[in-house]
Structure 1
Amino acid sequence: MKKVVKASVDDLDQLVEIDSEVIGNTSRKDFIKNAIEAEACLIALENDEVAGYLIYDTHFFGCSFISMIIVSPAKRRKGFASLLMNHMVSHSETEKVFSSANRSNHDMQKVFEANGFVESGVIENLDEGDPEIVYFKSVKEKQ
């Protein structure tokens, strides 16, 4: 059974392990820990096993911003990113939810589009030669 819950500090090591599988190091441990402590980290569970996580904040011009969605490589293409996104949108504290993906990240772009997010702009110069595409979804469209 799949479900989404708020992460707790007890989940930190599992989240860092998944993150390390994806990026090859544990450099974001403090970032993940801070998100958990701020109650801004959601985890996707399958039979009580962590499959992935989402980190967000509400500081993007007064709107929610999903800053990270990470799914374990072994659990990809099974709907966990969508599960996390939809939970975030349906429980959003703000009327608008934004996120972004590099232009080279075609898989994530497809996930955004499949979940009703629309392109809302481009940010140049974050990653050299790989612009960031900003996505938007109105919480009113969540039904």
Structure 2
Amino acid sequence: MRDVSIALLNDLEKVVEIDKEVIGNDSRKGYIKKAMEEKRCIVVKERNSITGFLTYNTHFFESSFISLIIVNPLERRKGYATSLLTYFIENAPTFKIFSSTNQSNQTMKEVFKQNGFVQSGYVDNLDEGDPEIIYFRRRIGD
């Protein structure tokens, strides 16, 4: 059974393990730990095993900004990113929700589209030759 909830500190090692598998190192461990301590990290579990996580903040023009959506590579294309987004969209601390992905990331662009996000702009010069596309949607019920 799939369960989505606020991450607990005892989830840290498993979440960092998934992140490390995706990016190749544990350089975001401190960031993830802080997000967990501040209750800004959400995990999705299948049969009590963490399969993915989402982190966010509210520093983007006083709106929610989803900074990471990471799913275990072996568990992708099974709806875990959508489960995380649905939970967040229903429980976001602000009315406006933003996120972003590289223009080249077709998979994530499709996930955003399928979850009601629309393109809201872009930022050049973060990754050379691969603009960061900004996405937007409103919290459910607003």
- Give SS of 1:135's match: strand
Task: Deviation per CA, 1:88-135: give whole Å up to 9, x if none.
Answer: 010011111000000111100000000000000010111111100000
Q: Could you tell me how far apart the structure 1 residues matched to 2:130 and 2:33 are?
A: 28
Q: Could you tell me how far apart the structure 1 residues matched to 2:15 and 2:65 are?
A: 20
- Give SS of 2:107's match: helix
- Give SS of 1:22's match: helix
Task: Deviation per CA, 1:42-63: give whole Å up to 9, x if none.
Answer: 0001111000000001111111
Structure 2 match to 1:101: 101
Structure 2 match to 1:85: 85
- The two structures have a TM-score, normalised by structure 2, of 0.97
What amino acid maps onto 1:11 in structure 2?
A: D
* Structure 1 consecutive aligned stretches of length 4 or more whose deviation exceeds 6 Å: none
What amino acid maps onto 1:24 in structure 2?
A: G
Structure 1 match to 2:45: 45
Unaligned runs of 5+ in 1: none
Q: Could you tell me how far apart the structure 2 residues matched to 1:18 and 1:2 are?
A: 17
**% of aligned pairs identical?**
51
Unaligned runs of 5+ in 2: none
What amino acid maps onto 2:4 in structure 1?
A: V
Give the RMSD, CA atoms, in angstroms.
1.1
Q: Could you tell me how far apart the structure 2 residues matched to 1:127 and 1:141 are?
A: 35
Relative distance call for 1:15 and 1:140 in structure 2 (3 A) is closer
Relative distance call for 1:124 and 1:51 in structure 2 (3 A) is same
- Give SS of 1:136's match: strand
- 1:2-41 alignment to 2 at 5 Å? 2-41=2-41
- The two structures have a TM-score, normalised by structure 1, of 0.96
Q: Could you tell me how far apart the structure 1 residues matched to 2:43 and 2:104 are?
A: 25
1:141 deviation in Å? 6.1
What amino acid maps onto 2:138 in structure 1?
A: S
Q: Could you tell me how far apart the structure 1 residues matched to 2:86 and 2:141 are?
A: 11
Q: Could you tell me how far apart the structure 1 residues matched to 2:33 and 2:77 are?
A: 26
Q: Could you tell me how far apart the structure 2 residues matched to 1:130 and 1:87 are?
A: 29
Structure 2 match to 1:54: 54
Q: How many residues align?
A: 142
